[in-house]
Structure 1
Amino acid sequence: MTPSKPPFSLVGLDHVVLLVADMDLAMRFYQDVLGCQPGFSYPHLGMEQVWCGNALIVLQDYTKPEGAWARPPVEGGRNLDHVCIALSPFDHDAMSAHLRAHGIEVVEEAFHGGARGMGNSFYVLDPFGNKLELKGPPVY
């Protein structure tokens, strides 16, 4: 039996949901440090969304009564290693300076493959310990 093709084609990352413990801090990080734009707002769910290019990052504040439904079963529990955010071309020194200016430590720098090809990446943590890979366009 030959495997059938799915009845759809993959387009790209639509959204990722990150659990946060302070929505104001989360919004400042994603908007001021990363430059995300405000997206859809669902205060009745304890949820805010920000645009990251043509995808969304959903910020779910599990510390508020409205968002308690998303509280991890184990304190600090995670089900995600990192999220890779595709970036436009950037200057290495300018990127380093920008992150430093916001008090963001670069956990790791790397050059490896991703959905768009081989490129340079900065790994950082958001204020809640979520690891983000900030990946430039392919070099080749």
Structure 2
Amino acid sequence: DHICLVVEPLDWQEVIDSGVFTVKEGPVPRFGARGSATSVYVLDPDGNTVELRWYPQDA
């Protein structure tokens, strides 16, 4: 249904405001295999959903 990329710390608002991505959802808190994270879901140029996920404990 989507792919997930773990990213370095981002200024989420800058990503959203850049206009480079079509944002579907986020930033939203999520929990996964590595613990709590913040995610933004965007569409790539082909219309695929990509989750950009940041784990604060990795900072």
TM-score normalised to structure 1 length: 0.35
- Percent of counterpart pairs with the same letter? 38
Are 1:134 and 2:52 an aligned pair? yes
Are 1:84 and 2:1 an aligned pair? no
How many residues in Structure 1 have an aligned counterpart in Structure 2? Answer: 56
Larger radius of gyration: 1
Q: SS at 1:85's partner residue?
A: strand
More strand by share: 2
Unpaired runs of at least 5, structure 2 = none
Structure 1, residues 33-88: CA drift from partner, whole Å, max 9, x if none?
xxxxxxxxxxxxxxxxxxxxxxxxxxxxxxxxxxxxxxxxxxxxxxxx10111112
Unpaired runs of at least 5, structure 1 = 1-80
TM-score normalised to structure 2 length: 0.73
Which structure has the higher relative contact order (CA within 8 Å, separation 6+)?
2
CA RMSD, 1 decimal: 1.8
